[in-house]
Amino acid sequence: MAGNHSRFRPFWLIKYPLLFLAALVFLFPIVALVMATFRTGRDLMRFGITFQTLIPQSFDLKNYGYLIDGKDGLYLSWYKNSLIVTVFQTGFSLFLSSLVGYGLGVYRFVGRNAIFVLVLFVMLVPLQILILPLYSMMIDLGAMDTYWGAMLPFLVSPFAIFFFRQYAVGIPKDYLDAGRVDGLNEYAIFFKITAPLMAPAFGAMAILMAQQSWNNFIWPLIVMRTTQMLTLPIGLNSLLTPYGNNYNMLISGAAMASLPIIIVFFFFQKYFLSGLTTGGIKG
């Protein structure tokens, strides 16, 4: 059952068609989204996604045009905001979380276990519960409606700490000792010797955190106030109003917002999957 028997088995004639059918059901909404981008917003508003939607009569790119010139180019501002927040949040979080994970994984020191338990505890506390005090804090800091405000609570990621820690535990101590013999101090050892060794962990976490930041919803919904400052998910969501939904921009905007992650996924699938698993279950 487990392992990789690649010899053909008759059972495959039932298994793969069934799996393929199930997988198609899961892929369907994404295909439907892409096909719907060629329909007018009015059509989508009136009928939703229909059987006809799935077979476009023409590949009309008008909806994509609205992304550039609709609402004074607002969509492009949202894209820029999302890029800025994602790049900086991922960068800071990788740097800070790897330091902590490395420290916990490599050194024995008083308080290490207590700190590790705190990391595990914090991983379980849903951010949603703390949004009110965090919101007041952002007001006090003057961080409302700023990129900083959108990033601050995520600059150190407990999950990434955990992941880096699991990875760092496996680094042979000889590497560190070799560095010490060469007269490097502990920080130089991290930057010159061990951080490069942890490259796969950096890859996995970069992808996972960038994806989470790109798709983050509840926090930027609270922090970002003016329409120019919204990130993509919040901006797209703002197109749904009680007075009617701007599906022209929403549908093509949704497709374009998903494109970068899907492209990255196809090139770095391995990192995506290892980012989820390596730290996930092994205590």
Could you say whether residue 84 binds another protein (CB under 8 A)?
no
Radius of gyration for the alpha carbons in the chain, expressed in angstroms and rounded: 23
What part of residues 170-229 is at the interface with another protein (CB under 8 A)? 180, 185-187, 190, 211, 214-215, 217-218, 222
Distances (CA, A) of 108 to 104, 146, 156, 175, 198: 8, 39, 22, 16, 19
Q: Determine, following the binding rule CB under 8 A, whether residue 144 of this chain makes contact with another protein.
A: no
Among 133, 173, 199, 243, binds another protein (CB under 8 A): 133
**What does the alpha-carbon distance between residue 208 and residue 81 come to, in Å, rounded to a whole number?**
19
Nearest approach, Cβ of 37 to another protein (angstroms)? 11
Nearest to another protein of 34, 76 (CB atom): 34
Contacts of 113 (CB under 8 A, 6+ apart): none
- Answer for which of 76, 122, 171, 195 binds another protein (CB under 8 A) is 122
Which residue is listed with tokens 């496996």? 170
Report CA 44 to chain centroid distance, whole Å.
Answer: 29
104 contributes a contact to another protein by CB under 8 A? yes
Q: How far is the CB of 130 from another protein (least distance, A)?
A: 4
Residue with tokens 């793969």: 16
Report if residue 35 touches another protein, rule: CB under 8 A.
no
Q: How many residues bind another protein (CB under 8 A)?
A: 99
- What residues are paired with 240 via a beta bridge? 245
Q: How far is the CB of 257 from another protein (least distance, A)?
A: 6
User: With binding defined as CB under 8 A, does residue 9 bind another protein?
Assistant: yes
